[in-house]
Amino acid sequence: DDFLLELLDHEEPAVVDWAGLVIGKRNRTDLLPALEEANSRIGNKPRIAWAIGQLKKIKEGEE
């Protein structure tokens, strides 16, 4: 997952978007702040936005 985290810093928005999707599918709620930061940097792409929503739902269920 370190590789996916590195991809969130990629200069190509599509790469960041897909990396965010994979992080979301892996239920990595600990990486939610990194996803939100990357999403704001690349301009709210659909896959990473889905992942953020998914991880927020998981976190809400944990509380």
User: Taking the CA atoms of the chain, what radius of gyration do you get in angstroms?
Assistant: 10
**What's the pLDDT at 5?**
95
Task: Give the residue-averaged pLDDT of 25-35.
Answer: 97
pTM, entire model: 0.92
pLDDT at 61 over 80: yes
* Residue-averaged pLDDT of the chain: 96
Tell me the C-alpha distance between 12 and 59, whole Å. Answer: 28
pLDDT at 3 over 90: yes
- pLDDT tens-digit profile of 38-55? 999 999 999 999 999 999
